[in-house]
Every structure is written in C-alpha cells, then in structure tokens.
Amino acid sequence: MRKIIHCDADCFFAAVEIRDDPRLQGRAIAVGGNPDRRGVLSTCNYEARRYGIHSAMPAAHALRLCPDLIILPHRMDVYRDVSQAMRQIFYDYSERVEPLSLDEAFIDVSESEQCRGSATLIAQDIRARVRKDLGISVSAGVAPNKFLAKIASDWQKPDGLTVITPAQVSEFVARLPVRKIHGVGKAMAARLGELGVTTCGDLQHYSIFELSERFGAMGRRLHQLCRGEDDRPVNASRRRKSLSVEKTWSEDLQGLESCLAGLPRLLEKLFARLEDLDDDYRVVKLFVKIKFADFTQTTLERAGKHIRISAFRELCAEAYARQGGAVRLLGLGVRFVDLREDRAYYQLPLFGD
C-alpha cells in the first residue's frame, strides 16, 4: 500500500503578498491582471471569495462584486523562490516529488523513514515547517493514491490536514460526490445525474462495460476512481546536482576507527539512492561531511568518477584530522554533472515539420 501526500498552498500568490505586507491582512485581495486591460485574476484570498470572487475571473468583474478589492500585480520571481523553498522541504522527506504547479505537489512517502514512516506525521511536519520558514499555510491530504490525496487536501481547506487511511477508503468514496472526481465537470455530472448517480457509491453499481460503453475511456477510469483506486505513480522530475546520505549517531563516535567503521552502511545507502537516478548523471566528485560533538562541521571533497569505499575512507580520515575528537554526524555524497543540462547543442531536424 502506498502513502501519498498532496500538498497545496492556500491561495498561494495572495498568501505570499499578505506575508510580505501585513497591512493586507484581513482585507479582500487578489493577484492578477489589470482591470483596464481585460486581465483575469490568478488567485484571491478567502476574504475576497466571500464576495463570490474566484480565480480566472475577469478583474473588472471582480471589482464590480467588491469595489474594495485590492488587486496586486504578479511578482513571479518571488513566487518561484517560495515555491522552490517549499519543494526543498518536500525533498527532505522523499525523493519522489511531483510538482503540479508552483503551489501544488504530490509526494510519495511510501519508502520514507522520517517520522517513523508515518505519512500523517510527515504531512504535519511539512505544514509546520512551511508555515515557520516561509510564512504561508499549506493544506495537505494523505491517502493511498494520488486521486484520494488530492481530494483530501481540498477537504478541509484552508490550512487543513485530511487523512484517508486504507481502511477508510471504501466508506469515504461511497459518500464522495462524483463532481469531486477530476474530469467530471458540469456536462458529465449532468449525464451521470440522469442515471441517478450523484455519489461514487451510486457509480459503483455500474459495471466497467456499462461505463465504458457510455463514457468511453473515461468510463473505465470512472470505474476505478469511484472505488477509490488509482495506480498512477508519482512522477519525480527533479534534476539534482548532488546526492548525499548522512547519519547522526545516538552516541557520538569516538575516534577515527569508529568513523571508518560507519562508512560501509552509509555507502550502501548511497548506492541504493543512486539506483533511483537515471543514466544521465555523471559522478564527478565525492565528498564527506563530518559534524563533531561540538557542532562544528567540515566538508571535504575530491574529484573522482568511481564510488569506492577506499576513496571515502581517505576523505574521512583527512576531514577527521582537521579537528579530531568525538563525532556526532557522518555524511557521504557525490556531485554530478547532469548531461541533460548541457544543452549547448541542439540537433536540427532534417525534415522541418
């Protein structure tokens, strides 16, 4: 059974604006287009939503609904930075992060060991850290698949956390309105309504043959989703510059020999993590990180293409010699050259399409 978290920042652009200008707190604000130039809104906060304003609404229309609405221009660079920082937090819990947009991502934490492997605790952790470090709120959904995780994150928005455990899935979907299914819009809901179907529970009475006959490929998908089944994987697309593993010992390591003795286990973990990466990375450097008992930290790296225990032993010995004494944390890692990033050349096509 997989554990998927869907994180969705609450009215992201607006939240960043309020964070950076607390005077906006409590007022109806929106971010988006210029009302004089037929612009549309990208985001608005909950205060604005009370007036019936929503994203993608023409700014001029929104101003008629709420003349006091404050419309701010986009500051894309800032949003991108916040989004990046948010992703970095996600990456602390799993390699498998699939960003859907600047403010939304799936995180597959099935293999994660943080928070004793509890997806619920990880989601709480993520929400707390984003609030503390970035000053915005994130809603999260935890479920066995992407479909349910996304619905769950929306369930108690804003600033909510909803968990659907495997045991709760069938009860949850039985009451779930079909309109909540991504891809079921007005028209599809109306057609389903004619059949007397308003909840996923109603939909479960129809066989896959009936549904695919009526709705084609979407019918097959409906047959799965109304049972809370969804096997789409979380597609991580991250490109990285380095990869490292580290471990904090519960009792400080005393002396170089015990540090060296800790390397094989770490190297094993490093190899396991490397296996998840694609073939377009080339290892160019190896490095070792040591944090001593007094929390001073040192990192030593060296050019190298081959990941060998002997190379890490040498680095570890040299780094240790810089200070010596008890060690609380040991880390090893590699730095990459990403072949995909090197797009100095672009192959021209023979047959211009």
Partner 1 sequence: MKFVASREALLKPLQLVAGVVERRQTLPVLSNVLIQLDGDQLSLTGTDLEVEIVGRLQLEAAGDSGEITVPAKKLVDICRSLPEGSDIEFSLDEQRALIRSGRSRFTLSTLPASDFPSVEDSPGDLRIECAQQEIKRLIDRTAFAMAQQDVRYYLNGMLWEVRQGQVRSVATDGHRMAMCTRDVNVDCAEKVQAILPRKGVLELSRLMSEGEDQVVIVLSPNHIRVTTDDYTFTSKLVDGKFPDYERVLPRGGDKVIMGPRTELKQAFSRTSILSNEKYRGVRLLLADGQLTIVANNPEQEEAQEEVTVDYTGPELEVGFNVSYLLDVTNVIAHENIKITLSDANSSALLEEPESSDSLYVVMPMRL
CB of 352 to partner 1, least distance (A): 9
DSSP state of 114: G
φ and ψ at 259, to 5 degrees? -65, -50
Residue type, 69: L
Token pair 């390699």: residue:
95
Minimum distance of partner 1 from residue 20's CB (angstroms): 37
DSSP, residue by residue, 6-63:
EEEETTHHHHHHHHH-GGGTTS-EEEE--GGGT-BEEEE-HHHHTTT--TT-BHHHHH
Shortest distance (Å) from residue 340 CB to partner 1 = 7
Please tell me the count of residues contacting partner 1 according to CB under 8 A: 18
User: Is residue 346 a contact point for partner 1 (CB under 8 A)?
Assistant: yes
CB distance 143 to 164 below 8 Å = yes
Check: CB of residue 290 under 8 Å from CB of residue 259. Answer: yes
Q: Looking at beta carbons only, is 194 or 353 nearer to partner 1?
A: 353
| Residue among 92 and 341 whose Cβ is closer to partner 1 | 341
Span interacting with partner 1, options 45-53, 138-146, 226-234, 337-345, rule CB under 8 A: 337-345
- Rounded CA separation 309/77 (Å): 42
Can you read off the two tokens belonging to residue 128? 């707390």
CA distance 214 to 104: 33
Which H or E run contains 320?
helix 309-321
Position 306 contacts partner 1 (CB under 8 A): no
| Residue numbers 187-246 binding partner 1 by CB under 8 A | none
Q: Which of 104, 113, 246, 275 is catalytic?
A: 104
Give SS3 for 68: coil
* Segment contacting partner 1 by CB under 8 A, of 26-34, 106-114, 213-221, 334-342: 334-342
- In the complex, least distance from residue 85 CB atom to partner 1, rounded to whole angstroms: 27
- Is 104 in the active site? yes
Q: Residue 324 in contact with residue 344, Cβ under 8 Å?
A: no
Distance in angstroms (rounded) separating the CA atoms of residues 73 and 125: 32
Query: Residue 77: in which H helix or E strand, if any?
Result: helix 76-91
Of the candidate spans 147-155, 233-241, 254-262, 341-349, the one that interacts with partner 1 by CB under 8 A turns out to be 341-349
- In the list 56, 187, 217, 344, the residue contacting partner 1 (rule: CB under 8 A) is 344
- Residue 295 or 351 having the CB closest to partner 1: 351
Site for partner 1 in 259-288 (CB under 8 A): 280, 282, 284
Q: Is 186 in the site for partner 1 (CB under 8 A)?
A: no
Smallest distance, Å, CB 66 to partner 1?
A: 50
Could you list the active site residues?
Answer: 104
- Which residues of this chain interact with partner 1, rule CB under 8 A? 280, 282, 284, 337-351
